Structures are given as structure tokens and as C-alpha cells.
Structure 1
Amino acid sequence: MQQETADDLIRTIHTLQRTLRCLTQHGANTGGPGVALQGVMRMIGEDGELRATELAAKLGIGPAGMSRHVAELEELGYVRRRPHPQDRRAYLISLTELGESVLREALAGRTVLLQEALADWSEEEAQLASTTLGSLSDSLFASFRRAPGTTAPTPETPVSLPQELTTK
């Protein structure tokens, strides 16, 4: 890939991130959890029950930030923590029924926002964009896994892209 193409791709990705952030923040003003907390809830929802350290690694944030997010979500009644049965120092975090419901509603709202924003797109255009973005994400993720100092994930402990490469 030529440098000019890589520069254009980076600019396009940044523009997409900012636009998605604006769109989702506009749609998140419903009184529920904000976009950042929804991202945390989505990761918990995808994985079921997991340790806070695993969740922090997947989101690319530190333990202190993760602790604040979990405490806020727990106070709102969206997550529960229980002692890890094999490690008394650790807790397992999962969504409550309320958390699952709120997350479903938030994701449904985002889907509607995207459908409305892209109403002039054909199904084929949307599928092509999804496939292309998925391929880009997979390639970036594979590159991240190969980078020095990173550990290749196992099926039990997947690694996510660093926070600066993702939008939550």
C-alpha cells in the first residue's frame, strides 16, 4: 500500500469514528447508560461472565477506569459481581436482567439510527460496507496480534484492538 493511500485510509477511519460517535451519542440521550457504558455492557453481554481484568484488556482501558465503569453499572443495577469460585481475589462480572434489557434496547436504537442515516443505501451497498469493514478490522487485529510484546489470544482470552483503534 502506498503512503498516500494509507494516509487517506487513516483520515477516512478517523472521520468514520467521529461521525459514528456523534450519531450514537445523539441517539444515546435517552436517560440510559452513555455510549462508553454501553460499550462495556456490550462486551459483557458478548462474553457472559468474565473477570474485570479480562474486560479491561478487551476494552483497552486500565484497571482504575474499569473499576469506575463496573461500579457505576453495578449501582445502576445493570451488572452484578460475584466472587470468583477459584480465585478469592477476583470477581466475575455479568449483566443483570435489567442490564440485558437496557442493552438490547440501546442496540436496537443504534440499529434504527443507522438504518435511518443510510436510508438511501441499497442492501448490497450496506453488505459490501460491512464485509469491507469486517475485513479491515480482521487485518488490523491480526497485525496487532503479530506485533512485538503482544500475546496471541486463545479462544478463552481474546484480545481486542487498542482503544485508539476502536470506537466505543
Structure 2
Amino acid sequence: MAVNQQTAEELIDLVFRLQRELRCVAQRSSDPRGPGTALQAVMRMIGEETELRATELAAKLGIGAAGLSRHISELVELGYVLRRPHPDDGRAYLISLTPAGAQAVAEEMQRRSTLLKQMLGDWTEDEAAAASHSLGKLTETLYHSIRAMKPGTTQMPIPAGDHN
């Protein structure tokens, strides 16, 4: 059975509200001596890969090359990120976390998860696991659906066998 329009709208509203609240959690749990929340997000994305091209990182973050360049320069200066020329493409750079960067990401995750665990003090483990499962399923569905769309469109491809 398909999701109806009202449910889709409610879900969008709830996801945006969740996003705002998670930003507050990130700000409350941040180490004021460390990188800000925007740089932490960049570092988390870098940490998901061993090493990646700057252009791939910009696409994952949804920002332009100039904005990414500023973030990367700051993170290199702070000692959290390495930037090296791509061995096969002289125009490209490969980005990775330094050991200090990986440690900073792990410590930030620990602070955030500790705060979230406190905030969810009246939840059961089953409730938290169910929420995690639902958010994971939503994230995977959106990830694959967006990548299935043709660039510059808002239309999903027609599934095989549905060409009426």
C-alpha cells in the first residue's frame, strides 16, 4: 500500500524538526576547543571513507568546491585532515583524516551519544532500536531513490513492468 500525501508531508516535517533538534544536541555536546559543528560534519563524512577525492566529498556534502576548500584548509591547519595530490590525476586531491582527526570524530560521537542517551532516559532499548531501524530504513530508501533519479529531474524512473 502506498504512502499517502498527508503522511509524506508529516514525515518531511518531522525529519526537519529532528534535524533542528539534532543540531542542538551537536552544539550542546561540542567541545568548545575543537572544530565547530560544520567542520565536525565534514570530518565525519571524510571518516566514512579511507580516502576520497575532494570533488566526491563536496558532492556528498552538497556544497561547492570553494566552500569545501575553505573547510579543508582549516581542518588541515588544525591537524585533523590530510590533503594530498591524487597520484593519477594532477588536478585532483585526496582527503583523509589524520589520527588526531579520527580521534576527534570518535570523541565527538562519544559526547553526542552520551548526551542523547541521557535525553532518552525514559525510552526502552526496544523503542530506541525501533527508532534506529526506521531512521536507517528511511535513510537507505532516500539514498537509493535520489541516486535512481536522472540528474536535474524530480521524477523517479518507472519500474520495469509498469510501462502502461
TM-score by length of 2: 0.87
SS for the counterpart of 1:82 is strand
Aligned pairs (5 A) from 1:1-168 = 1-149=3-151
Between 26-35 and 97-106, the greater mean CA deviation after superposition: 26-35
Distance 1:147 1:72 in 2: 34
Distance 2:143 2:93 in 1: 28
- Report how far residue 29 of structure 1 moved: 4.4
C-alpha distance after superposition, 1:107-133 (max 9, x if no partner): 111110111111111110010000001
AA at the equivalent of 1:11: D
Distance 2:122 2:80 in 1: 36
Structure number with higher relative contact order (C-alpha < 8 Å, ≥ 6 residues apart) = 1
SS for the counterpart of 1:139 is helix
Identity of aligned residues (%): 56
- How many residues align? The count is 150
101 and 29 in structure 1: CA distance in 2 versus 1, 3 angstrom threshold: closer
SS for the counterpart of 2:48 is helix
TM-score by length of 1: 0.85
**Which aligned runs of 4 or more in structure 1 are off by greater than 3 angstroms?**
none
Q: Aligned-residue CA RMSD in angstroms?
A: 1.3
